[in-house]
Amino acid sequence: MSMESKRGSVRALSVLVGFAMVFAAFVAVIPRATGTSVVPAATCGQGAVALGSTSSYAALSATSITNTGPSSLTGDIGVSPGSAVTGFPPGTHTGVENVANTASAAAKLDLTTAFNDAAGRSNCAVSVAGNLGGQTLTPGLYKSTSSLAISSGDLTLSGGGNPNAVFVFEVASALTTTSGRQVVLTNGAQAGNVFWQMGSSASLGTTSVMQGTLLAHTSITLSTGAQLNGRALAATGDVTLASATIVVPTTTAPTTYPVTFTESGLPAQTSWSVTFAGVLSSSMGTTNQFNVPSGSYAYTAGTVAAYTASPASGSVPVNGAPAAATIQFTAGASGSFSTVTFTESGLTAGTGWSVTLNGVLINSLTDTNAFSEANGTITYTIAAQSGYDATPSSGTLTVTGNSVAQPIVFTTAGSGGGGGGSNSPGTSSSGMPTWEWIAIGLAVLLALGALAAVLLMRNRKAGKT
């Protein structure tokens, strides 16, 4: 090898050593995850899909509306950019017929907006697949990666007593209902707040009953006797009807009825509470009252120190009339209740914090929250505190006639104070991801190897001179 070649090799190896050292330093100083990530709490409730001018349409198609038999549509019908409407009569509709005009073109644009709104939702999605028949679903976003069917049973949508509850179904392919199957609305759910978005088509079987607005990318078919309490809106294809019924729904607050819980057995001015249909009500009188639509709702009586509630929980049916329930409180035997004390550390003095134990919420501006509880196993939850993580944030306690103490440690959010001693997958005991250690190790080995090569070549050069 010539002297010039040797010098070139030395320079190349020197550059390699420098690069390896810089890479190792870079890997060592890049920001690392601490093992604790703070993610903003998601708001899972869905808002209604904005329908715009399509809200008045019983049927809207991009190409054609075809009807056979005495179909009855309550609402407008429209086609754009197509212009084919056939079968009216014998079919009837109560609204305006907009065909290839300015109004139908505007409605078609609004349909595209509504379709994209429904299709683009992802917050708190619940995965569903196959057959929804026989299930009861609560308000929310339901997402399918293929087709959905309502068969071998009816689908029930329960509003939970909330007339504004929204249901959104994202169906990647087709939606099908088999003959005679129904979507049933209960506990305040309204058809005007139910939306079905299909990546292809929707097909309603004979005499089936569907609730909600159908937003299909391609086509919608209502077979003989099918009923839709909603809208049939086809973005690129046609709407086909056979002696079917479509009624554009309205969303109005349903009639509500008072449900009154009356207590007996407590001293005057004693605070007591009931959670009914997910709503908590407290009172220092003898009654707690709620107003709900018809339906069946669960309740739980809150704990009152030194007393036992009977019944402590149950359900109350509301059938178009006021309803009532009575809760009897019985004083417990002496010594049958014990003090459960939660003591916090880590919060700034005077900061309010709260604990829910056995369904009862207590707030405090000191470092303790205390309860009086009967023997048994009870659950607790520490309320979220802005800027802090609580450890533990929830759990269970067992009361056996003796006082129980539970410490709660608050640490700055994201500081990793609630780690509990276990490492996240892919991290080392120091909190550094495993890949970073591997990268640093490889970089160091590369640097050492290159340095050794340089020294070896220099030694050989010195030996020859």
Averaged pLDDT, groups of 10, the chain, 465 residues long: 52 54 47 30 62 97 97 98 96 97 96 94 90 94 96 93 88 97 94 97 98 98 98 98 96 80 94 86 94 81 90 88 94 66 89 83 82 82 88 90 90 61 40 52 68 66 59
pLDDT score recorded for residue 348:
85
| Helix intervals (H) in 52-135 | 102-119
pLDDT score recorded for residue 462:
61
* C-alpha torsion angle, residues 347, 349, 354, 357 (rounded to 10): 90
Quick check: 272 and 263 in contact, CB under 8 A? yes
pLDDT score recorded for residue 195:
97
Tokens of 162: 């909330």
Measured in residues, the chain has a length of 465
Q: 267 lies in which domain range? A: 257-331
11 and 66 fall within a common domain: no
Query: What is the Cβ-side half-sphere exposure of residue 23, based on CA atoms within 13 angstroms?
Result: 19
Q: Is 68 exposed, middle or buried (0-12, 13-18, 19+ CB in 10 A)?
A: middle
The number of distinct structural domains making up the chain is 4
Domain boundary among 331, 352, 376: 331
pLDDT score recorded for residue 454:
63
pLDDT score recorded for residue 302:
92
Which single residue is written with the structure tokens 């050593």? 17
128 and 182 fall within a common domain: yes
342 and 327 fall within a common domain: no
150 and 66 fall within a common domain: yes
pLDDT score recorded for residue 367:
87
What is the DSSP secondary structure assignment for residue 193, as one 8-state letter? Answer: G
In a domain, 367, yes or no: yes
Domain boundary among 247, 272, 293: 247
* Global confidence as pTM: 0.51
